[in-house]
């Protein structure tokens, strides 16, 4: 007697597919959250390694920390770091904080010296590039490459500020920032038009509250004056075009949504002020790393006050 083989009916197949779809819908958010958490942990580990690099630099430099950036007064004047001149040939800017620290963690050249897509791809393998959640700025000058200096971490502009100084200005007075402009080989700091090297002890004051490096949308970590309302303004979507005005009141370079959820785009240049989830990592000057869910901390950790 022949037995007829019975297959699945269309209804049964649809039921199975429906069950699988429900399971996927339930599991995907959990998997996504797990990936975000893993990225945040890896990011925090990289920040701790960066702190170790700062310590090694200070040990070899009689207690000095590197500036956030050093620009020479003219392209003809060079600042040499471990055999490399800054600005590099054809470059317009000097050395960034990660150029000063690179030798302690990587053999790759960082910054403007990486002119090709391949070299910039190598940069992404270093701890300075930023956490796994950072994609970088797509660079139009070199198709398929990323902007070499817009890494996923930013170092603080200000090493010395207190809750009352500066209280109401966006930028500190000349000679007080870590962004050096107009370096001309003169060891007298007062001869530089703006910025200076600062010793580690300056950063260590209130080090448990003062940010050293953090998840950032810019190579520098800065926060601007908060409006009297105390309400943070919409975050600028920074891309390769750095000529846009992203220095307005209530703005911060800290990438406050890095490990959370970015809000929907309000228009072509800004994120919405609602719909996102704040979560970002901060390396403080005492060496501890914390994941913050409070956007106000991006201002407090840089300016040592909020609002202001």
- pLDDT for the residue numbered 156: 93
Sorted by where each begins, the domain ranges of the chain are 40-303
CA atoms within 13 A of residue 45's CA, in its CB half-sphere: 8
Token pair recorded at residue 267:
């228009």
- pLDDT for the residue numbered 7: 60
- pLDDT for the residue numbered 52: 94
- Under 8 Å between Cβ of 152 and 216: yes
Say what the pTM is: 0.83
Task: For residue 38, give the H/E element and its range.
Answer: helix 10-60
Comparing 35 with 101, the larger pLDDT belongs to 101
Buried-exposed string 194-215: b where 16+ CB fall within 10 A, e elsewhere: bbbbbebebbbeebeebbbbbb
Whether the pLDDT of residue 3 is over 70: the answer is no
- Phi, psi torsion values for 98, nearest 5 degrees: -75, -20
**CA–CA distance, 145 with 168 (Å, rounded to integer):** 39
Span of 142-146, 147-151, 272-276 with lowest mean pLDDT: 142-146
**CA–CA distance, 107 with 254 (Å, rounded to integer):** 27
Max Cα-Cα span within the chain: 104
Task: From residue 58, give the alpha-carbon distance in Å to each of 54, 101, 117, 298.
Answer: 6, 10, 32, 25
Q: Which residues pair with 252 in a beta bridge?
A: 223
- Under 8 Å between Cβ of 226 and 250: yes
**CA–CA distance, 56 with 125 (Å, rounded to integer):** 21
**Percentage of residues in the chain having pLDDT higher than 70:** 72
Which band of pLDDT confidence, cut at 50, 70 and 90, is reported for residue 118?
low
- pLDDT for the residue numbered 203: 94
Q: Give the distance, in angstroms, between the CA of residue 56 and the centroid of all CA atoms in the same chain.
A: 21
Whether the pLDDT of residue 92 is over 70: the answer is no
- pLDDT for the residue numbered 139: 59
Token pair recorded at residue 123:
């940069």
Token pair recorded at residue 4:
């007829």
Chain position carrying tokens 């800004």 = 270
- pLDDT for the residue numbered 103: 87
Whether the pLDDT of residue 178 is over 80: the answer is yes
- Under 8 Å between Cβ of 114 and 83: no
- Under 8 Å between Cβ of 45 and 173: no
Task: For residue 82, give the H/E element and its range.
Answer: none
Which band of pLDDT confidence, cut at 50, 70 and 90, is reported for residue 243?
very low
């Amino acid at each position: 007697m022949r037995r007829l083989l019975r297959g699945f009916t269309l209804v049964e197949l649809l039921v199975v597919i429906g069950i699988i779809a429900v399971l996927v819908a339930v599991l995907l958010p959990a998997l996504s959250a797990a990936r975000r958490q893993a990225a945040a942990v890896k990011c925090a580990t990289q920040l701790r390694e960066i702190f170790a690099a700062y310590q090694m630099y200070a040990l070899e430099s009689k207690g000095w920390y590197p500036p956030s950036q050093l620009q020479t007064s003219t392209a003809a004047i060079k600042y040499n770091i471990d055999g490399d001149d800054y600005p590099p040939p054809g470059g317009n800017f000097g050395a960034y904080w990660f150029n000063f620290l690179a030798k302690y963690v990587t053999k790759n050249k960082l910054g403007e010296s990486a002119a090709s897509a391949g070299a910039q791809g190598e940069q992404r393998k270093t701890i300075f590039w930023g956490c796994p959640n950072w994609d970088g700025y797509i660079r139009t000058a070199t198709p398929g490459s990323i902007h070499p200096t817009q890494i996923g971490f930013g170092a603080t502009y200000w090493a010395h500020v207190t809750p009352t100084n500066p209280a109401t200005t966006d930028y500190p007075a000349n000679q007080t920032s870590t962004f050096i402009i107009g370096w001309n080989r003169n060891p007298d700091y007062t001869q530089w038009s703006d910025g200076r090297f600062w010793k580690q002890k300056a950063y260590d004051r209130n080090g448990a509250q003062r940010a050293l490096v953090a998840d950032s949308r810019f190579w520098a970590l800065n926060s601007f004056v908060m409006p009297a309302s105390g309400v943070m303004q919409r975050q600028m979507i920074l891309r390769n075009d750095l000529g846009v005005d992203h220095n307005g009141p209530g703005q911060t370079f800290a990438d406050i949504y890095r490990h959370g959820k970015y809000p929907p785009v309000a228009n072509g240049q800004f994120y919405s002020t609602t719909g996102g989830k704040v979560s970002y990592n901060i390396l403080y000057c005492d060496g501890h790393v914390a994941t913050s869910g409070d956007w106000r901390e991006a201002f407090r950790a840089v300016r040592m006050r909020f609002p202001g």
